[in-house]
């Protein structure tokens, strides 16, 4: 009566790996993406729209947006869309495409697409105020000051020993002291708080440690015993505490603009944490997944979420337990990647989503 979890996991991983390997071939042989029957011929972009919202207005498979988007060859950032842009649906050279109306209708979109326009130089457009792929307000906390680092490296860094005021609550302008490897006078450092440790569900290997930057400080002096003095220059809504770690500020390099596309990861994955201390995720939630840069994940990657099928009893076969097939229950988009972990935003969900739900790239059909 005992179901083999190992066997189920192996079967899933083989399927995931095969899907990833065949991705390029499937794409090359696939028909064009399906335009929705009720797709608007003309749509005025509004403030608050996201690229995923707009993609979903036109396509049954929103992650295939770039395949129908008519890019302007005279613009360095051709995929940017802004509030008040007028999007029009056109058939150009036998293909249904979406472009920005510059006043000439589909004829103007075709000229921009084919390069038949007069231009003395390639125009560079700003990403400021452009339409994001997903709401920035929902992911801001996980973009700015939260990182995943190697726990072994983190534990070797200097730590806050005390503050000049003798208390734990410190703010900009306060002085704190760090013990450990002497820091460099005049150098700017970040102060980081230890957070959740991530363990891969399959290998049980520690794959990352979440840390949050709570302050920034400048080293003013180093004593003969190696204790470094730092003057805090910035704090980020949290107090500095004894035991917080000090090291050079890490660059959390997120592209200013990214676009939804099917993930090309080298294996399947799963949700390993629902952020903000809630038990289940839904549309608009942020989750951590066990796919990172090592597995080929990148910002903009879209993955389908599969909930494990229910365990039912077969009343015809002596009440033997039978696991029903996994079913697609939602989609997510990666927005921040680290070595073996990524943060992702839930784009859609039919059911509450939980830790352990499986992930695969979406099908092209």
Domain boundary residue, one of 131, 158, 184: 131
Among 247, 263, 278, identify where a domain stops.
Answer: 247
**Residue 7: pLDDT band by 50, 70, 90 thresholds?**
very low
Q: Are residues 243 and 261 both part of a single domain? A: no
Q: What is the pLDDT of residues 270-308, one digit of tens each?
A: 999 999 867 899 999 999 999 999 999 999 999 999 998
pLDDT of residue 11 exceeding 60, the answer is no
Residues facing residue 221 across a β-bridge: 229
Task: Specify whether the backbone of 249 is left (phi greater than 0), alpha (psi in -120 to 50) or beta.
Answer: beta
**Residue 29: inside a domain:** no
Question: Is residue 322 very low, low, confident or very high in pLDDT (cuts 50, 70, 90)?
Answer: very high
Mean pLDDT of the region 146-156: 92
* Residue 6 or 81, more confident: 81
- Confidence at residue 206, expressed as pLDDT on a 0 to 100 scale: 93
Asked, for residue 160, whether it belongs to a domain, the answer is yes
Domain co-membership, 211 together with 308: no
Q: Do 225 and 275 belong together in one domain?
A: no
Among 63, 98, 131, give the residue marking a domain's end.
131
Number of structural domains found in the chain: 3
Which residue in the block uniquely carries the two structure tokens 């990861």? 265
pLDDT of res. 341: 96
Q: Indicate whether 106 pLDDT > 70.
A: yes
Chain segment 217-270, per-residue pLDDT in tens:
999 999 999 999 999 999 888 889 999 999 998 876 677 778 899 999 999 999
pTM, 2 dp? 0.81
| Stretch 74-87: mean pLDDT | 81
CB distance 281 to 353 below 8 Å: yes
Give the pLDDT of residue 3: 37
Q: For residue 347, is it within any domain?
A: yes
232 and 260 housed in the same domain: no
Angle at 55 between CA 53 and CA 57, to 5 degrees: 75
Q: Are residues 53 and 74 in the same domain?
A: yes
The answer on 355 and 263 residing in a single domain is yes
Q: Quick one: pLDDT band at residue 168, thresholds 50, 70, 90?
A: low
The percent of residues above 90 in pLDDT, for the chain, comes to 63
Token readout for 179 is 């013990």
Q: Residue 105 domain-assigned? A: yes
Residue 198: per-residue pLDDT: 95
How many angstroms from the chain centroid is the CA of residue 160?
31
Mark whether 345 and 260 lie in a shared domain.
Answer: yes
Residue 12 lies in a domain: yes
Q: Is 198 found in the same domain as 232?
A: yes
Tell me how far apart the alpha carbons of residues 274 and 287 are, in angstroms, rounded to a whole number.
Answer: 5
**Neighbouring residues of 290: CB distance < 8 A, sequence distance ≥ 6:** 198, 200, 201, 202, 207, 269, 270, 272, 340, 341
> What percentage of residues in the chain have a pLDDT greater than 70?
84
> Which domain CATH number covers 278?
2.40.10.410
Q: Say yes or no: 265 and 354 in one domain.
A: yes
Q: Identify the pLDDT of residue 258.
A: 82
- CB under 8 Å, gap of 24 or more: what pairs does 10-19 form? 12/268, 12/326, 12/358, 13/202, 13/267, 13/268, 15/268, 15/360, 16/267, 16/268, 16/269, 16/358, 16/360, 17/266, 17/267, 17/268, 19/268, 19/360, 19/361
Whether residue 42 is contained in a domain is answered as yes
Greater confidence (70 vs 6) lies with 70
What tokens appear for 212 in the block? Answer: 């949050």
Angstrom CA distances, 145 to 17, 212, 273, stand at 33, 6, 18
Mean pLDDT of all residues in 351-364: 89
**Mean of per-residue pLDDT scores for the chain:** 85
Q: Please check whether residues 213 and 286 belong to one and the same domain.
A: no
Position 71 confidence tier, pLDDT thresholds 50, 70, 90: confident
Task: Indicate whether 259 and 354 sit together in one domain.
Answer: yes
Domain membership of residue 313 (yes or no) is yes
| pLDDT of 19 over the 50 cut | no
Q: Which domain holds residue 217?
A: 146-247
Contact 266, 296 (CB under 8 A): yes
CATH number at residue 177: 2.40.10
In a domain, 241, yes or no: yes
| Placement of tokens 């959740």 in the chain | 196
Q: Comparing 21-25, 65-69, 119-123, which segment has the lowest mean pLDDT?
A: 21-25
Across the range 118-131, mean pLDDT stands at 64
């Amino acid at each position: 009566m005992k179901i083999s979890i190992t066997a189920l996991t192996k079967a899933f991983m083989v399927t995931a790996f095969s899907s990833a390997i065949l991705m390029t071939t499937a794409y090359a042989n696939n028909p064009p993406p399906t335009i929705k029957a009720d797709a608007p011929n003309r749509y005025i972009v509004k403030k608050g729209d996201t690229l995923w919202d707009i993609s979903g207005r036109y396509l049954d498979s929103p992650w295939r947006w770039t395949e129908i988007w008519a890019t302007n060859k005279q613009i360095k950032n051709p995929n940017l869309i802004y509030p008040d842009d007028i999007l029009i649906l056109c058939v150009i050279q036998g293909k249904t495409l979406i472009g920005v109306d510059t006043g000439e209708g589909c004829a103007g979109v075709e000229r921009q697409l084919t390069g038949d326009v007069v231009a003395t130089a390639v125009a560079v457009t700003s990403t400021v105020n452009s339409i994001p792929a997903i709401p920035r307000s929902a992911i801001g906390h996980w973009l700015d000051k939260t990182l995943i680092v190697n726990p072994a490296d983190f534990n070797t860094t200097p730590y806050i020993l005390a503050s000049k005021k003798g208390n734990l609550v410190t703010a900009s302008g306060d002085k704190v002291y760090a013990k450990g490897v002497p820091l460099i006078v005049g150098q700017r450092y970040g102060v980081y708080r230890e957070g959740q440790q991530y363990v891969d569900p399959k290998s049980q290997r520690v794959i990352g440690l979440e840390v949050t930057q709570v302050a920034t400080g400048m080293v003013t002096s180093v004593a003969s015993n190696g204790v470094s003095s730092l003057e805090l220059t910035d704090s980020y809504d949290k107090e500095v505490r004894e035991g917080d770690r000090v090291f050079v500020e890490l660059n959390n390099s997120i592209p200013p603009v990214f676009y939804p596309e099917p993930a090309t990861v080298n294996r399947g994955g799963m949700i390993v944490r629902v952020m903000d201390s809630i038990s289940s995720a839904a549309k608009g939630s942020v989750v951590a997944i066990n796919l990172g840069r090592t597995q080929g994940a990148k910002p903009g990657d879209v993955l389908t979420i599969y909930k494990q099928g229910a365990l039912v009893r077969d009343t015809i076969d002596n009440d033997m337990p039978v696991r029903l097939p996994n079913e697609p229950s939602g989609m997510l988009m990666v927005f921040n990647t680290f070595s073996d972990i990524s943060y992702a935003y839930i784009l859609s969900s039919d059911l509450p989503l939980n830790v352990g739900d499986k992930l695969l790239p979406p099908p092209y059909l």
